Amino acid sequence: MVVFARNKCFEFAAKLGVDFFIEMDDDYVDFRYRYQCGGKLLARHLPLDAVFDLYFDFLILSGATCVALAQGGDFIGGVDGSFKKRYSRKLMNVYFCKTSSPFLFYGRLNEDTTTYALLGRQGVLFLTPYLFMATQKETQSNAGGLSDIYRERGTYFKTFYSVMYAPSCVRVATMGDGHARIHHKVLSNFAYPKILSEKVRK
């Protein structure tokens, strides 16, 4: 279970005197910058060292506890999809962490979703800007890792971990086109605290 290694990384970083580190948890094909040109959403490669520096700068300036790279699926719908929102409160796959702001991942499976849903409800700020993305291999296409568990027990099993931790904002749903599979759905309106307008102050 990867959750134990995830949580140990903060301790290792502190012992090594490292202020910042990155956790990556998949088999990646490439990393790309996403941008709008006319009415299309395009992608290009940029030097990864510069991208990482930019994200650590953003981590510091934003005041977030952790930030992440977006994933390919976040850009479905092109310029009229999630890209218009500029960012989300989720946290998955490629994590930019501050040793001075440790947090725990929760759940033996689906710990990424469980963590951002559970801690997000408590006011912990996680951010994924829709600017750069990591492209990973198709889920369960490689042997080892968690793929064997997903094949043995199905994705409902892992999805329900998040439902148990945050039942007010996570539900079991399906994803995919043609070959749908069980997956989680985080209801953002119930997952994160909102700042009310001063006009409703009593």
> So what's the pLDDT on residue 154?
63
70: nearest Cα among 106, 33, 107:
33
Q: Is the pLDDT of residue 169 over 70?
A: yes
pLDDT band at 143 (very low <50, low <70, confident <90, very high): low
Q: Say what the pLDDT of residue 196 is.
A: 79
Of 33 and 173, more confident: 33
CB atoms within 10 A of CB 150: 18
Tell me the pLDDT band of 202, cut-offs 50, 70 and 90: confident
Q: Which residue intervals of the chain are DSSP H helices?
A: 2-16, 48-62, 111-121, 147-153, 155-165, 188-191
- Distance (Å, rounded) from C-alpha 50 to C-alpha 48? 5
In the chain, count of helices (H) and strands (E)? 6, 11
| Residue 141 scores a pLDDT above 60 | no
Element (H, E) at 85: none
- The mean pLDDT value for 22-41 works out to 90
Confidence of residue 103 (pLDDT cuts 50, 70, 90): very high
DSSP string over 61-89? HH--SEEE-EEGGGGTTGGGTGGGG-EES
Average pLDDT over the chain, rounded to an integer:
87
Mean pLDDT of 46-69: 95
CA 97 to chain centre: 12
Query: pLDDT at residue 144 above 60?
Result: no
| Cβ atoms of 124 and 172 closer than 8 Å | no
